[in-house]
Amino acid sequence: MRPELILRLYPRAWRERYGEELLALIETQWPLGLGAWLDLLRGALVAHLHPLAADRDAARSSKMTARPAIALRLTMWVPLVAVSIAAAMVLIDFWFGRGNDWSAWFSLAMPQSLDLPQVRDVYFNVNGTWVEYFTFKSEELNDLALHLKMLALAFAAALMWAVVARRLTSRNRPL
């Protein structure tokens, strides 16, 4: 990859003003390590979110005012909401055991009998009598645990995205 291609990631006015200098600096460090690549990508993203006056004017005249920042702000909470909905669906599915009955998702009525994923079991108590009890099937619990673990990871990633997006679009960004 040629170093000039990196500059295409930056807004036009930014590139015209600082492109030549940035390129000269990059060439002193070529080939770049992973850290420098990530740094340039972050720099390009920040340059789009906080454009120079010339880029802001160009965006305004083409009716694209602050489009990246607005898009980022709009998408900030989408992953969090999606993961929360998925977590609710997993729990409802486990509880009602109605994963395939889509009409149940839209019904507010409680089911007549709870179709819990349970198995009947018995044990002897201290008096020597049979005691009957119900328990969840272990595979159901394992599935639930696996789904919740995956959702916890997705939730952490969504939260990190929200924090990063909030920081990047902050209006009180220091110089």
Partner 1 sequence: MTQPTKLSAEALLILVSLAEAPKHGYAIQQDIALVSGRRLGPGTLYGAIARLESGGLIEALSDSGARRPYRLTPPGAKQLGAELESLKSLTRTGMRRLASR
Binding mask 53-72 for partner 1 (x = CB under 8 A): x-------------------
- The single residue among 2, 21, 102, 129 that binds partner 1, judged by CB under 8 A, is 21
Closer residue to partner 1, CB minimum distance, 67 or 173: 173
DSSP codes, 83-132 = HHHHHHHHHHHHHH--TT-GGGGG--SPPSS----EEEEEEE-TTS-EEE
- The single residue among 8, 42, 60, 137 that binds partner 1, judged by CB under 8 A, is 42
Closer residue to partner 1, CB minimum distance, 56 or 147: 56
Q: One-letter amino acid identity for 10? A: Y
Q: One-letter amino acid identity for 155? A: F
Verify binding: residue 170, partner 1, rule CB under 8 A.
no
Selected range binding partner 1 among 30-38, 71-79, 83-91, 139-147, rule: CB under 8 A: 30-38
Verify binding: residue 76, partner 1, rule CB under 8 A.
no
CB 11 within 8 A of CB 47: yes
Residue 174 buriedness (CB in 10 A; 0-12 / 13-18 / 19+): exposed
- The single residue among 12, 36, 66, 98 that binds partner 1, judged by CB under 8 A, is 36
Q: How far apart are CA 169 and CA 156, in angstroms?
A: 20
Verify binding: residue 17, partner 1, rule CB under 8 A.
yes
Neighbours of 34 (CB within 10 A): 7
Closer residue to partner 1, CB minimum distance, 60 or 173: 173
Q: How far apart are CA 117 and CA 99, in angstroms?
A: 12
Q: How far apart are CA 117 and CA 134, in angstroms?
A: 10
- The single residue among 4, 8, 41, 137 that binds partner 1, judged by CB under 8 A, is 41
As measured in angstroms, the least distance from the Cβ of 27 to partner 1 is: 9
Q: How far apart are CA 26 and CA 37, in angstroms?
A: 10
Residues making contact with partner 1 (CB under 8 A): 14, 17-18, 20-26, 28-29, 35-36, 38-44, 46-47, 50, 52-53, 172-175
